[in-house]
């Protein structure tokens, strides 16, 4: 089957946050602005998802959703088929998305004032959910070594404050797309054991990995941590279903799971969103072929964007993505001030990007570009950037 990722779909005025929130979120009001910020794709999802939703619409009755058994089976079958990770269906807690379940995990297993370790620059919603729950962020900044991010675990071990209780680990990493190696995951797990920290691995980007790398589930790479491990997964990032707001936390530790489930219950989230469940189950069951095609398209976008941007903006550097469609661009070599760079991108080029500072320490002088869009928009963005920085 072929999938038309080149198709430009007009998403303006469709309640699509990436397109319709540029004015309020980024103060970009140009009518022809290109959104390369929020992490969803401008592609249609696997046809099986649309079919499953159409079948539901045809039935036309939308009562409370019951029994997540088939959804759990589909989730486990996917994790086993794609990642060789056998998961017990009963070890899954279902929630309205990964960030939502991270909030529940924080509330269930830590107390206000507790320290939560992050490896910035990292997905900004981690910072927001920790702060919203009155926990304290402990930053352990990544190091860039030969153009790749690395964790600085020596610093982690040496500087860990007494209030540290938990680590939120992004695997693969957003931004920059690092796929962590077995050795790196093991070293982190060993430190968590030594320091008695719960390890929360957000593996939402696990499927969007390019052929040169292989994602290793934390549970397989570092089985020694299983009793202190919670892994977050979802079908929403993989299959462009972010609006389905459905995700899961997996932990083999029954006590931790009961505590998380108690929070889910306390928030009265025991009935799941019918449309989210249907869409994500269909994707896991029948989305393999679409995913292969999407990865190939994204890989070509990745290479095209990196080559084009380096030509368009002398001094700019694009981190090589092993996974994700979230390109991390370093502008420090341009010689321009940060404000100037930001205004050239948003005012002159009329492109909405995620400002690097949002991702915490190490984010200054960077921007994150979402390249999961038809090639047409990538080319248009590159042309505009070339004009906006033509004096360099
Ligand atoms: C690392 C990471 N976790 C979680 C999310 C969002 O997950 P959800 O929509 O399920 O809350 C994102 C979205 O970009 C992400 O990059």
User: 148 C-alpha to center of ligand 1: Å?
Assistant: 22
User: 121 C-alpha to center of ligand 1: Å?
Assistant: 15
How do beta strands 143-145 and 148-150 pair?
Answer: antiparallel
Give kind and range of the element (H or E) at residue 164. Answer: strand 164-170
Q: Supply the angle between the helices 375-388 and 288-312 in degrees, to the nearest 10.
A: 20
Residue 125 structure tokens = 């919603």
Give the per-residue pLDDT at 166. 98
Residues near 332 by beta carbon (within 8 Å), at least 6 away in sequence: 315, 365
Give the per-residue pLDDT at 270. 84
CB 198 within 8 A of CB 165: yes
If one residue of 100, 123, 245 were mutated to test the ligand 1 pocket, choosing by the most ligand atoms within 8 A of its CB, it would be 123
Nearest CA to ligand 1 atom 7: 98
How far apart CA 375 and CA 369 sit, in angstroms, is: 14
Residues near 68 by beta carbon (within 8 Å), at least 6 away in sequence: 94, 272, 277
Sign of dihedral through CA atoms 232, 237, 239, 245?
positive
Residues forming a β-bridge with 209 = 323
One pLDDT digit (tens) per residue for the chain, 392 residues: 789 999 999 999 999 999 999 999 999 999 999 999 999 999 999 999 999 999 999 999 999 999 999 999 999 999 999 999 999 999 999 999 999 999 999 999 999 999 999 999 999 999 999 999 999 999 999 999 999 999 999 999 999 999 999 999 999 999 999 999 999 999 999 999 999 999 999 999 999 999 999 999 999 999 999 999 999 999 999 999 999 999 999 999 999 999 999 999 999 998 999 999 999 999 999 999 999 999 999 999 999 999 999 999 999 999 999 999 999 999 999 999 999 999 999 999 999 999 999 999 999 999 999 999 999 999 999 999 999 999 99
User: 99 C-alpha to center of ligand 1: Å?
Assistant: 6
CB 282 within 8 A of CB 265: no
Give kind and range of the element (H or E) at residue 311. Answer: helix 288-312
* Nearest-atom index, ligand 1, CA of 96: 10
Give the per-residue pLDDT at 360. 98
How far apart CA 275 and CA 52 sit, in angstroms, is: 9
145 three-class SS: strand
Nearest CA to ligand 1 atom 14: 39
User: 203 C-alpha to center of ligand 1: Å?
Assistant: 9
138: phi then psi, degrees, rounded to nearest 5: -110, 110
Residues near 98 by beta carbon (within 8 Å), at least 6 away in sequence: 202, 204, 232, 233, 234, 247
How far apart CA 118 and CA 161 sit, in angstroms, is: 13
Burial class (CB in 10 A: 0-12, 13-18, 19+), 195: middle
Residues near 78 by beta carbon (within 8 Å), at least 6 away in sequence: 235, 284
If one residue of 99, 354, 372 were mutated to test the ligand 1 pocket, choosing by the most ligand atoms within 8 A of its CB, it would be 99
How far apart CA 158 and CA 40 sit, in angstroms, is: 37
Residue 112 structure tokens = 């206000």
If one residue of 124, 169, 174 were mutated to test the ligand 1 pocket, choosing by the most ligand atoms within 8 A of its CB, it would be 174
Give the per-residue pLDDT at 173. 98
Residues with CB under 6 A from ligand 1: 39, 97-100, 123, 170, 174, 202, 204, 234, 236, 242, 247
If one residue of 75, 118, 125 were mutated to test the ligand 1 pocket, choosing by the most ligand atoms within 8 A of its CB, it would be 125
């Amino acid at each position: 089957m072929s999938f038309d990722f080149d198709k430009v779909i007009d998403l303006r005025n469709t309640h699509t946050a990436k397109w319709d929130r540029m004015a309020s979120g980024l103060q970009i009001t140009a009518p022809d602005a290109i959104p390369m910020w929020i992490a969803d794709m401008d592609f249609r999802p696997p046809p099986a998802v649309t079919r499953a939703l159409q079948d539901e619409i045809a039935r036309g009755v939308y009562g409370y959703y019951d029994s997540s058994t088939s959804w759990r089976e589909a989730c486990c079958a996917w994790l086993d088929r794609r990642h060789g990770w056998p998961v017990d269906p009963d070890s899954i807690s279902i929630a309205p998305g990964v960030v939502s379940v991270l909030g529940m995990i924080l509330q269930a297993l830590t107390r206000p004032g507790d320290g939560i370790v992050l490896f910035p620059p990292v997905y900004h919603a981690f910072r927001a959910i920790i702060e919203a729950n009155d926990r304290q962020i402990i930053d352990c900044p990544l190091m860039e070594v030969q153009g790749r991010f690395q964790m600085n675990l020596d610093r982690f071990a040496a500087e860990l404050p007494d209030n540290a209780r938990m680590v939120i680990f992004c695997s693969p990493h957003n931004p920059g797309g690092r796929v962590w190696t077995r050795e790196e995951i093991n070293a982190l797990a060993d430190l968590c054991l030594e320091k008695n920290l719960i390890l929360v691995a957000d593996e939402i980007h696990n499927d969007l990995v390019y052929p040169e790398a292989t994602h290793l589930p934390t549970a397989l790479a570092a089985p020694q941590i299983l009793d202190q491990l919670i892994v977050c997964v979802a079908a929403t990032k993989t299959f462009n279903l972010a609006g389905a707001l459905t995700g899961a936390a997996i932990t083999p530790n029954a006590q931790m799971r009961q505590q998380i489930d108690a929070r889910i219950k306390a928030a009265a989230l025991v009935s799941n969103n019918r449309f989210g469940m249907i869409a994500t189950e269909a994707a896991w069951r029948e989305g393999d072929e679409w995913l292969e095609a999407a990865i190939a398209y994204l890989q070509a976008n990745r290479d095209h964007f990196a080559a084009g941007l380096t030509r368009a903006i002398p001094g700019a550097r694009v981190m090589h993505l092993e996974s994700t469609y979230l390109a991390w661009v370093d502008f420090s070599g341009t010689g321009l001030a940060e404000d100037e760079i930001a205004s050239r991108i948003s005012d002159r080029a009329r492109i909405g990007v995620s400002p690097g500072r949002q991702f915490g320490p190490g984010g200054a002088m960077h921007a994150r570009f979402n390249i999961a869009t038809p090639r047409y928009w990538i080319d248009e963005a590159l042309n505009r950037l070339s004009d906006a920085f033509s004096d360099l």
